[in-house]
A and B are shown apart, each in its own frame.
Chain A
Amino acid sequence: MSEIYQTELLKLAGRASGAGRLDAPDASATAHNPMCGDRITMDLRLDNGTVTDLGYAVRACLVCQASASLAGEGFRGQTVAGIDALRDAVDAYLKDAGPAPEGYAVFEPVRQHLSRHTCVLLPFDAVEKAASGED
């Protein structure tokens, strides 16, 4: 078995923190992984650029589910700009160009699989898309 699928990642994906759509969100967008067709629809409630609540529907692999769950646990109370900066930090970590942001060390085995980096980053892309009103 690949070392990607460690207990911690499976538990994180299983918790599915924050899963479920919001009623009347301020912003909403779907991000797609072009490689496999996976997708996550992210709903945001925003107050002056700060995420006060979020919900999502995800149809994706375990890696993406785990990342979505981390988003559900950590994005509330953060600014959209802060989440964008966190995306850059996670991307850098995956590319061996930076330390693991808090909580994201669970993706350490994913780093060597370039094709799976998008799975981790998809929830961030959905937030960025929603906040920019792209969808």
Chain B
Amino acid sequence: MSFDPAAVRRDFPLLDPARHGGRIHYLDNAATAQVPLPVLDAVRRHETASRANVHRSVHRLAEAATRAFEGARVTMARYLNAARREEIVFTSGTTAAINLVAHSYGARMKPGDEVLVSLMEHHSNIVPWQMLRDRQGIVLKAIPVTQDGRLDLDRLDELVTERTRLIAVTHASNVTGAVTDVARVVAAARAVGAEVLLDGAQMAPHGPLDVQALGVGFYACSGHKMFGPNAIGVLWGRFDLLKSMPPFLGGGEMISHVTLEKTEYARPPMRFEAGTPPIAPAIGMAAAADWLSGQDLAGAEAHMVGLAGRLIDGLGGLDRVRVVGPSGLQQRLPVVAFTVDGVHPHDVSQLLDSRGVMVRGGHHCAEPLAEALGVCGTTRAALALYNDQADVDALLDGVRQVTKIL
């Protein structure tokens, strides 16, 4: 049986046309994806049946909450194929996860040590390293991008040196959709004993991952982009790395023993989970991972590749419209950014919204990439498995109208 996006859409109350006076075309999934009923149910079940703090009290509600929270950790470990559940640190999102690594792993770096990012990074994988540079005198370098919006990995040889301690790059671009050749990055890092951090915010919504096979040291992702709640994310770190790292934030739960003079810290992951964690969001994120794992992901992938092809071809046929990023469908996510010559992306987005088509316009929190590609911004359509041909055609019709009006 072929993949049926209409059946998937039925799981998403927000996409019900009755709520909006007609069909909406939600194509802003790279910013935030919508939430299916099983996730909403899991969160509601927790909040109505077992809401309590975790790892503190011994009463039955606390017990149920702790079990559900730790169960969520096990689920996320399975989703990422972590070697052990203690490698899963719950954070507020990808940004917090990368900041954690920049602070704690970065604390071991010395002046002159090098961190290599790329021009294609989201600001959340640039700014924390600039802050580390300013704190500790590390050297921050960047892999350039090719004109079709991929990492220029041919430059790795000259950029990676004996002082490189970490290569922190995106697993897939939130603007061009280009998927990184992780094996090449890992090989370059290993040659000098460096670790690799992958920003998986865009890749994690496309199905279970295998962090062990990827061979990286850290992986960060967000719940709200993978059909889960917001304010939740995961940092996966190889246990030997997490164990060697000092804490990031201080407070309750991350301690083993406290006196006024000093504190003995808990082991990972709790060493990195100061304060009451985002309990219901974590449970929701795990429910989203389970929901995603239960989908026909091969069918969904083929479906979305077909839609992305239709979108790229359609945009390519429009006057004054240029697709920014890879022209092919290989090694890319169904994220398509484009420009309309002479029209600001926000004006494109506003006009599309008036036709029920929701996209994002702007620099997508990746200003250095926009600069490198010579654009002030782009309009971006990011497909999810509930999108269909009607969504793509509505976008194409809308852009056609934009080129006529403006």
Q: Report which A residues bind B (CB closer than 8 A).
A: 30-32, 34-35, 37, 39, 112-116
Closest Cβ of chain A to B81, distance in Å, is 19
* Contact present for B70 and A35 (CB under 8 Å): no
Taking CB atoms, residues of chain A closer than 8 Å to B253 are 34
Mark interface residues in B108-124 (1 if CB within 8 Å of A CB, else 0): 00000000000000000
Q: Is B107 an interface residue (CB 8 A)?
A: no
List chain A residues, Cβ under 8 A from B57.
115
CB<8 Å pairs between A and B, sample of 10: A30-B257, A31-B256, A34-B253, A34-B255, A113-B63, A114-B66, A114-B70, A115-B57, A115-B62, A115-B66
> Which among A35, A37, A39, A116 has the highest number of chain B CB atoms within 10 Å?
A35
Contacts of A34 on B, CB cut-off 8 Å? 55, 253, 255-257, 266, 270
Q: Which residues of A contact B264 (CB under 8 A)?
A: 32
Q: In the bound complex, do residue B266 and residue A115 qualify as a contact, i.e. CB atoms below 8 Å apart? A: no
A116 to B57 alpha-carbon distance, docked (Å) = 10
Closest-CB distance, B254 to chain A (whole angstroms): 9
Within 8 A of A (CB), among B258-296: 264, 266, 270
Chain B residue with Cβ nearest A135: B264
Interface centre among B55, B56, B67, B256 (most CB of A within 10 A): B256
- List of A residues within 8 angstroms of B405 by Cβ: none
C-alpha gap A32/B255 in the complex (Å): 9
Chain A residues near B266: list those with CB within 8 A: 34
Q: Are B256 and A115 in contact (CB under 8 A)?
A: no
Cβ B63 vs Cβ A114 within 8 A = yes
Residues of B within 8 A of A113 (CB): 58, 63
Closest to B252 in A: A34
Residue among A32, A115, A116 with most chain B CB within 10 A = A115
CB contacts (< 8 Å) of A32 on chain B: these are 256-257, 264
Considering the chains assembled together, what is the distance between the CA atoms of A41 and B255 in angstroms? 18
A64 to B: closest C-beta gap in Å = 13
Min C-beta distance of A124 to chain B, whole Å? 14
Contact B66 A39 (CB under 8 A): no
Inter-chain contacts of A112 with B (CB < 8 A): 63
* Residue of A32, A34, A112, A116 contacting most chain B CB atoms (<10 Å): A34
In the assembled complex, the Cα of A30 lies from the Cα of B264 at a distance in Å of 11
User: Please, how many angstroms separate the alpha-carbon atoms of A34 and B58 in the complex?
Assistant: 13
Question: Can you name the residue of chain B whose Cβ is closest to the Cβ of A2?
Answer: B58
A133 vs B63: C-alpha distance in the bound complex, in angstroms? Answer: 33
Interface-centre pick from A31, A112, A113, A116 (highest chain B CB count, 10 A):
A113
Cβ contact within 8 Å between B58 and A116: yes
Find chain A residues with CB under 8 A from B257 CB: 30, 32, 34, 37, 39
| Min C-beta distance of B381 to chain A, whole Å | 44
Q: How far is the CB of B256 from chain A (nearest CB, A)?
A: 5
CA distance A115 to B57 in the complex (A): 8
Q: For A31, what are the chain B residues with a Cβ–Cβ distance below 8 Å?
A: 256
A114 and B67 within 8 A (CB)? yes
Could you tell me the distance between the alpha carbons of A35 and B63 in the complex, rounded to whole angstroms? Answer: 13
Counting from the closest, the 3 A-B pairs by CB-CB distance are A32-B257, A32-B256, A115-B58
Roughly how many angstroms separate A35 CA and B253 CA in the complex, as a whole number? 8
Q: Which residues of A contact B255 (CB under 8 A)?
A: 34
By beta carbon, the residue of chain A nearest B59 is: A115
B240: shortest Cβ distance to chain A, in Å?
15
Residues of chain B within 8 A of A30, CB atoms compared: 257
